Structure 1
Amino acid sequence: MKTILKAGQLNVLYENGSLRYISSGKTELLRMIYPAVRDEEWNTVNPVILGEVIDKTDDSFRIKLSILYRSGEINFRAKYFIEGKSDNTISFGMEGEASGTFRKNRIGLCVLHPAEECAGKNCTVEHTDGSVESSFFPEEINPHQVFFNVRSLKWIAGKINCSVTFEGDVFETEDQRNWTDTSFKTYSTPLSLPFPVVITEGTRVNQKVVFRAGNITGAERADNQFNVIRLIPEESYILPSIGVSRSSSGNALTLQEIRTLRTIGFNHYRTDIPLYSPDWIEIADLSLNESFELGCQMEPALFFAGDVSRHASAFAEWMETRKPDIARILIFHRDSPSTPDDIATKVISILRNTDPDVKIATGSNAGFVHINRFRPGNTENDFICYPVHPQEHASDNATLVENLKGQGYTVRSAKVFAGNKGIIISPVTLQRRFNANISYVELPYRGDGIPPSVDPRLMTLFGACWTAGSLKYLGEADADSITYFETRGARGIIQGNEEPEWPGLLPSAKGMIFPVFHIFRFVLAHRNFNIIKSVSTDPLSVDCLSLANGKEARLVVVNFSDEQAQVRIEGLAGKFRMVPLDGSTSAEASTDCRWTGNRHQKSFNPSDIISLNPNSVNFVEGWLKT
C-alpha cells in the first residue's frame, strides 16, 4: 500500500518497506531509501512483510517494520525503524539476523540519488578515515564506482542543502545508469571485498542511514492539478530503424503469423545464430525465409566460440550462396562480456572479403555496462551495439517507468566513446533474457513454470505504455537502430497460432494480439516522420512519444498509472483527434491486426484538459503550432 508522508517540508512516498521520491516542492532530493538482500548470483530476494505499523502526523512519521527474506538457501529476517521529523530529517535503521547459514552478495541499506538532479553536480564526500574530498556526480556514465569508503555525502539540489550519513558498514557509490537505472546508488559492502560471503546462522546486520535537508524555506510547491506535455519541434531526430527479434521458441512462423506481423512493416529481423552449433545453417535459413516473408532485412547476431576463423568463413560462404538482404551483422563472443577487438578484426576482414559493403556492429549481448567497462576499439566496425532491459535491480512498475529515461542516458554516453560510429540497441526487452553474472548468452531454461525471462506485463496495456516510453527516450537520444522483444509467444508482441505454453498463468490466448503490437504499427505507419522532443511535468505518470513531418504531428500519449490522469498538450494548433487504447478498447484491438479505433475517436481543442484512462495508450493526430 502506498502512503504519503511528511517530514517537515519534505514529501515522502512509503511503499512496501521503502521510502521513495523524497522531495521538497518540485525538487527531488532522493529517489529512494530501501533495504536489499541479494543472493550469490545477484538476484534480488523479494521482501515478505510480516508486520507493519505506521504512525503519522502533519509533519512527521514513524514506521516499525518486520520483513522476512526467503529464497533458496537465504533465510534472513530484519526489523526496520523509519522516522521522519519536523526538522526535515529522515532516519532509516535496520536490525537484521540470519536465521540460517547462506551465501550472499549484499545485505543492507541502499540510497538512490536521482540522476536528473545530481549528474554533473558537486558533492562533498566524508570518508570512513575522517578525510574529506571535494568531488562530483559524473555527467557521463561512470563504468565503475564513483565514491569509495563513504561515511557521509553532501550536495545541493536546486537551492536545498542535502546530506546523508551512513552507519554500520563501509559504503560506496556506483553509477546505476550502467543498467539504465536513473540513479546513483550508495550501498554496502564494497565490491572490492570478496563475494559471495558466507553468512552463518545468528549473524547480525545493523545499519542506519540519516538524511537531512536544509535551506528549504520558501520552496516551490508542486502543482498536481494536471499534467502538461510540451512539444519542442526545434529538437528533431531521424526515426531509428525499428526491428523485432525472432522467437526464441525456434519454430518457424506460420503463414497467418507472418500476415499479421507484416502489417507492422518492421525494418529488420534479428536472429541469434550460434556458429559453434551444428544446426546454425538451419537457423540462418529459417531466418532468411521469414525476413523475406515479413518484408524486412535480416539482422544476424553471430555468436563465436572455438575456431573463430573457420566459423566466420562458413558464414561468409552462406552469405555468398544465399545472397541475404542484411541490414547489419552483430558480432559477439560466447564467453566475453564485449566483443574482443582481435576477434572483431578477424571476423570483419573475412566477412568483408565476401561483401565489402556489409555493415557490422560489435559490442555486448549482455548490457551497456559491459561495453562501458570493455569499450570496443576501432576494428573497422560501423556500429556499437548493446541490449537494454529495466529490471537489473528491481521489478515494480514504478522502477520500470523511472528507468525509461536511463535508456537515453546510455545512448548519449555511448556516443562519447563511440566516435563517429552509430549506436545499435538490440534487443530491448521488458525482462532480462539471462543473468549476465552467470553467462553472456542465453542458456536453455531447465526449471518448472514460467521462465524468469518472461514478464506477463509485456502482454498488457502497461507493456505498451512502457514500449512507447522506450521508443521516446532512445529516439530522442538519437539511436540509429532499435530491436524490440520477439515476434510471438510469451516474449512476443502476439501470442501466435499456438496455445499459451503456461495456460492460466499469462494474460494471453491463442491468436491474441498484444497492445504493444499497435504501438509499432502506429509508429511505422509514419516512418517518414521524425521524432521530436517532448517534455512532461510528471513523466513518471504521463509521457509522450512525439512524431512530426513538417506541420503534421502524431503523438502517443501514455498514462503509466493505475489511476485516471489529467493532461494538457502544449504545441498543437487547432483541433486534434485522439483514439484511446485502454481497458474499454483493448479487447477489440486484441483480435484485429489492422485496428484503428476510429469509432472511439474524440476531438479536442489545444486548451482542453484531457482525461486519460489508467494504463492507457492514446494515439493523437493533429498539427503543430507555428
Structure 2
Amino acid sequence: MRQIRTGPVSFTLLEGDLRSIRLGGVEVLRRLSYPVRDPQWGTHAVETLSEELHEGAEGVTYTRRFAGRGAIFGGIFRAVVRPLPSGAHLLLSVEMDAPADLAVNRAGFTLLHPLRGVSGAALRVIHPDGSEEATEWPRLISPAQPVRDIAGLSHVVDGVTVDIRMRGEVFEMEDQRNWSDASYKTYCRPLAWPLPFALGPAAPVRQELDITLTGAPVAAVTGDAAHDGSLPHVAVAVEPGLTVARVLAGLEALPRLLRVRADAAVEVLAGFATGGPVTLEVILPDDDDPAASLAALALRCAAAGLRPLRVVALRESYMKSHQPDGVWPKGPRPMDLIAGVRSAFPQAAAGGGMFTNFTEFNRCRPDPAQIDFVTWGGTAIVHAADDLSVMETLEALPQIFASGRAIARGRPLHLGMFSIGMRSNPYATDCLPNPAMERLAMVRDDPRQATGFAAAFAAGVLAGAAAGGVASLALSMTDGPLGAEGRPLAQVVAWAAARAGMACRVRGGDVVRIDTAKGALLANIGGEAVALPDGARGRLLGESGPRDLGGVSLVPCGVAFLEGGGA
C-alpha cells in the first residue's frame, strides 16, 4: 500500500488499484479497478509482472503490467494524474488480451462511488448516443440497476464536481449496498447482454476513463455521531453438513438458527431439541407440494421434541439470485408458503424474506401484512476480499438496516447470519474452493475467521445492528468454516449474549464503541493503533481477567471489553 499525492489530489495505490481518490480531503471515488470475473462470478487472481511510478511537479504516472494466474490473460493499466489550478485530471486506460478465448462475465473498469455526500444527491448521466438524463443517487437501496447505458456521469460531492467520461465499452450502475458494499458501482458490461462472453485474440479489451475534478471542497464533518439503541439477541447458526456442534460451548442457551431441508429426519431434528430456542429455516424442494412437505416436517419435529419459536420457508430455487426484470422460478413464490407455515407450525411466528443477502430480499420483498418478522443474511466478500474492503462493508450496514425497516413496515428484523465468509452462494452452484486459504471473494473458507479480525468485524456488525433496530441476528455458526467455537469471535458473541436486549449507545468510526450499563465493547476497525482512554479498566481480546487499560494501545483489529456502565 502506498499513499500518493500530487497537488490537491491524493489516492492510495494498492495491488494495482487506485483507492480512496480524494480532492482536498473529499473522497470522490472509493476504488478504481479492472477485474476479470469468471462465469461463476469468481474474480480471477492476478499477478503483477511489473510496475512503474513516476512522480514530478507535473503530476504522477503509474503503469502496471499484469497477468491472470497461469497467464490465461494479460494486460496493461496506466494512470496519468495531473493537478489543475482548481482541481485535477485523471486519464486512465486498461488493455487486456488473452492467448485463447476465455469465457468471462466481466473484464474492464469498475468504479466504486462512496456513500458519504453521494446518497440521495443529484446525478447527471450521459448516454452513448449523447443524450443526457437528470436523476439522483438512490437513498434507499435500489433492487435493480438505478442507471443504465452509461457513457458519462457528473455529480457534486461536498463541493467537488466529479465529471467522468467512459470510452471503449457501455457501462451501467448497481447499488452495491445490496451486497453490504459501502458503495455504488459503475461497471461494464450491461448484465442484460449475453453472458458469459469471450476475452480473446479477436475480442481484446480497450477502455479509457477521463475524469475531471473541480471545485472548492467543503470541509467534511469529522467524527461519527452517537446513536442510542438496544443490543440485539445474538443467535448462532447451525446446519447439518456445515456444522457438527449443536450448541456453542459455554453458551448452550444461545438462540439457534437451524437450517434444514424439508425432508430432515427425526434423528437429525432430535439433536436440536435441547439447548436455546430455535428459529427453523426450511428449504423446500421445488417439485414438492409446499403445504404437504411442511406438515410432514412439523410431525417429525414433534416426534423429535423440537418446538421452533419461529419458522421461515423457501423453495430451493429461491436460494439463487434473480434479476428484478429477469426470469423468476415457476410455481409458488415465498409469500405463497406462509399459509402452509402457519398451518404446520401454529405455535411459531411465521417469517418472510431470504436466507442469502439483502440483494435477494430487496428483489423479492415479503408482504409485512402476512408475516410476523422479516429475515435476510449477509457476507462481506461477494465482490472483494481484501482487509480494507471487508471492513468498509460495515459502513453500509446503517443504510441496509434502514432500507430493511422501510420494507418491513414495523415487523421486527430477526435476521440470519452476518459473516465474512459466504454460507451459500446465490450466484453460482456453490462457494468457490479456497484450499490455499487466500483472501478470495465468494469463498466459505476465509483465513480471517480464526483470528481477531473476525472478532473486530463481528463487533462492527453488532454495533450497526444495535443502532439499526435489529431484534436478533447471528454472528457465526457453532463450528466449521464459519464457526466461533474456540476462536476469538466467541468472546464477542459471549459479551453480546450477556447483554441481549440492553439499552446501549453506539459510536462508529475507526474505533467502534458500544456502551451499556454493564460495560463497553471497543473494536479497532481502522488502520492505525489507538490509545485506550485514561482510567479504562477491563481486558483485551484473549485475556482472562481485567486490568488497568488506560493508555494501552488498541492495535488494528484489536477488541477491548471495558468495565463500568453508562449507556
Contact 2:243 2:478 in 1 (8 A): no
Contact 1:363 1:376 in 2 (8 A): yes
Cα-to-partner distance string for 1:345-373 (whole Å, 9 max, x where unaligned): 56443443455341122221222111211
After the TM superposition, which of the residue ranges 120-129 and 343-352 deviates more from structure 2?
Answer: 343-352
Cα-to-partner distance string for 1:261-287 (whole Å, 9 max, x where unaligned): 3533654112221014xx533221112
Cα-to-partner distance string for 1:87-109 (whole Å, 9 max, x where unaligned): 21122211211222121111000
| Corresponding position of 1:472 | 463
Report the Cα distance in structure 1 between the residues aligned to 2:58 and 2:8, rounded to whole angstroms: 7
Tell whether 2:108 aligns with 1:118: no
Q: What aligned pairs does 1:142-291 form with structure 2 within 5 A after superposition?
A: 142-216=142-216, 220=219, 232=226, 235-246=227-238, 248-249=240-241, 252-253=244-245, 261-264=248-251, 267-276=254-263, 279-288=264-273
| Corresponding position of 1:358 | 348
User: Are the structure 2 counterparts of residues 327 and 530 from structure 1 closer, same or farther at C-alpha, using a change threshold of 3 Å?
Assistant: farther
Q: Does the residue aligned with 1:517 lie in a helix, a strand or coil?
A: helix
| Corresponding position of 1:533 | 506
**Runs (5+) with no aligned partner, structure 2:** 322-328
Tell whether 2:406 aligns with 1:416: yes
* Among 65, 73, 76, the residue aligned to 2:73: 76
Report the Cα distance in structure 2 between the residues aligned to 1:402 and 1:245, rounded to whole angstroms: 24
| Corresponding position of 1:557 | 522
| Corresponding position of 2:511 | 543
Q: CA RMSD in A?
A: 2.8
Tell whether 2:271 aligns with 1:299: no
Report the Cα distance in structure 2 between the residues aligned to 1:345 and 1:131, rounded to whole angstroms: 41
Give % identity.
Answer: 21
User: Are the structure 2 counterparts of residues 342 and 322 from structure 1 closer, same or farther at C-alpha, using a change threshold of 3 Å?
Assistant: same
Contact 2:476 2:482 in 1 (8 A): yes
Report the Cα distance in structure 2 between the residues aligned to 1:324 and 1:493, rounded to whole angstroms: 24
> Aligned-pair distance for 1:239?
1.8
Contact 2:511 2:526 in 1 (8 A): no
User: Are the structure 2 counterparts of residues 483 and 330 from structure 1 closer, same or farther at C-alpha, using a change threshold of 3 Å?
Assistant: farther
Contact 1:247 1:489 in 2 (8 A): no
Q: Give the counterpart letter for 1:282 in structure 2.
A: E
User: Are the structure 2 counterparts of residues 476 and 177 from structure 1 closer, same or farther at C-alpha, using a change threshold of 3 Å?
Assistant: same
Q: Give the counterpart letter for 1:602 in structure 2.
A: D
User: Are the structure 2 counterparts of residues 199 and 331 from structure 1 closer, same or farther at C-alpha, using a change threshold of 3 Å?
Assistant: same
Report the Cα distance in structure 2 between the residues aligned to 1:201 and 1:122, rounded to whole angstroms: 41
Report the Cα distance in structure 1 between the residues aligned to 2:260 and 2:379, rounded to whole angstroms: 21
User: Are the structure 2 counterparts of residues 304 and 612 from structure 1 closer, same or farther at C-alpha, using a change threshold of 3 Å?
Assistant: same
Report the Cα distance in structure 2 between the residues aligned to 1:470 and 1:251, rounded to whole angstroms: 22
Contact 1:465 1:617 in 2 (8 A): yes
User: Are the structure 2 counterparts of residues 446 and 145 from structure 1 closer, same or farther at C-alpha, using a change threshold of 3 Å?
Assistant: closer
Contact 1:79 1:94 in 2 (8 A): yes
Report the Cα distance in structure 2 between the residues aligned to 1:17 and 1:222, rounded to whole angstroms: 30
Q: What aligned pairs does 1:341-380 form with structure 2 within 5 A after superposition?
A: 342=332, 344=334, 347-353=337-343, 355-378=345-368, 380=370
**Between Structure 1 and Structure 2, how many residues are aligned?**
550
**Runs (5+) with no aligned partner, structure 1:** 495-512, 537-541, 569-573, 590-594
> Aligned-pair distance for 1:32?
0.8
> Aligned-pair distance for 1:222?
10
Q: What aligned pairs does 1:435-514 form with structure 2 within 5 A after superposition?
A: 435-439=425-429, 452-494=443-485, 513-514=486-487
TM-score, normalised with respect to structure 2:
0.89
Contact 1:229 1:543 in 2 (8 A): no
> Aligned-pair distance for 1:473?
1.2
Tell whether 2:380 aligns with 1:390: yes
> Aligned-pair distance for 1:564?
2.5
Contact 2:376 2:415 in 1 (8 A): yes
| Corresponding position of 2:326 | none
Q: Give the counterpart letter for 2:79 in structure 1.
A: I
Report the Cα distance in structure 1 between the residues aligned to 2:411 and 2:272, rounded to whole angstroms: 27
Q: Does the residue aligned with 1:312 lie in a helix, a strand or coil?
A: helix
Contact 2:520 2:561 in 1 (8 A): yes
Contact 1:24 1:221 in 2 (8 A): no
Contact 2:126 2:150 in 1 (8 A): yes
Cα-to-partner distance string for 1:244-301 (whole Å, 9 max, x where unaligned): 11255467539xxx5xx3533654112221014xx5332211122xxx2x4x101221
> Aligned-pair distance for 1:150?
1.4
Contact 1:229 1:544 in 2 (8 A): no
Contact 1:67 1:79 in 2 (8 A): yes
User: Are the structure 2 counterparts of residues 316 and 373 from structure 1 closer, same or farther at C-alpha, using a change threshold of 3 Å?
Assistant: same
Q: Does the residue aligned with 1:555 lie in a helix, a strand or coil?
A: strand
User: Are the structure 2 counterparts of residues 274 and 446 from structure 1 closer, same or farther at C-alpha, using a change threshold of 3 Å?
Assistant: farther
Report the Cα distance in structure 2 between the residues aligned to 1:173 and 1:128, rounded to whole angstroms: 14
TM-score, normalised with respect to structure 1:
0.81
Q: Does the residue aligned with 1:143 lie in a helix, a strand or coil?
A: coil
Q: What aligned pairs does 1:545-624 form with structure 2 within 5 A after superposition?
A: 545-549=513-517, 554-561=519-526, 563-566=528-531, 575-581=535-541, 586=542, 589=543, 595=544, 597-598=545-546, 601-604=547-550, 611-624=553-566
| Corresponding position of 1:539 | none
Report the Cα distance in structure 2 between the residues aligned to 1:70 and 1:576, rounded to whole angstroms: 49
User: Are the structure 2 counterparts of residues 350 and 111 from structure 1 closer, same or farther at C-alpha, using a change threshold of 3 Å?
Assistant: closer
Q: Give the counterpart letter for 2:487 in structure 1.
A: F
Report the Cα distance in structure 1 between the residues aligned to 2:526 and 2:77, rounded to whole angstroms: 28
> Aligned-pair distance for 1:533?
2.8
| Corresponding position of 1:509 | none
Contact 1:19 1:32 in 2 (8 A): yes
| Corresponding position of 1:510 | none
| Corresponding position of 2:417 | 427
Contact 2:434 2:445 in 1 (8 A): no
Q: Does the residue aligned with 2:448 lie in a helix, a strand or coil?
A: helix
User: Are the structure 2 counterparts of residues 489 and 374 from structure 1 closer, same or farther at C-alpha, using a change threshold of 3 Å?
Assistant: closer
Report the Cα distance in structure 2 between the residues aligned to 1:220 and 1:562, rounded to whole angstroms: 22
Contact 1:390 1:403 in 2 (8 A): yes
> Aligned-pair distance for 1:130?
0.9
Q: Give the counterpart letter for 1:89 in structure 2.
A: H
Q: Give the counterpart letter for 2:373 in structure 1.
A: F
Report the Cα distance in structure 2 between the residues aligned to 1:250 and 1:207, rounded to whole angstroms: 43
User: Are the structure 2 counterparts of residues 34 and 324 from structure 1 closer, same or farther at C-alpha, using a change threshold of 3 Å?
Assistant: same
| Corresponding position of 2:89 | 89
> Aligned-pair distance for 1:452?
3.2
Tell whether 2:108 aligns with 1:108: yes
Report the Cα distance in structure 2 between the residues aligned to 1:331 and 1:455, rounded to whole angstroms: 28
Contact 1:252 1:286 in 2 (8 A): no
| Corresponding position of 1:501 | none
Contact 1:364 1:387 in 2 (8 A): yes
User: Are the structure 2 counterparts of residues 548 and 8 from structure 1 closer, same or farther at C-alpha, using a change threshold of 3 Å?
Assistant: same
Q: Give the counterpart letter for 2:272 in structure 1.
A: S
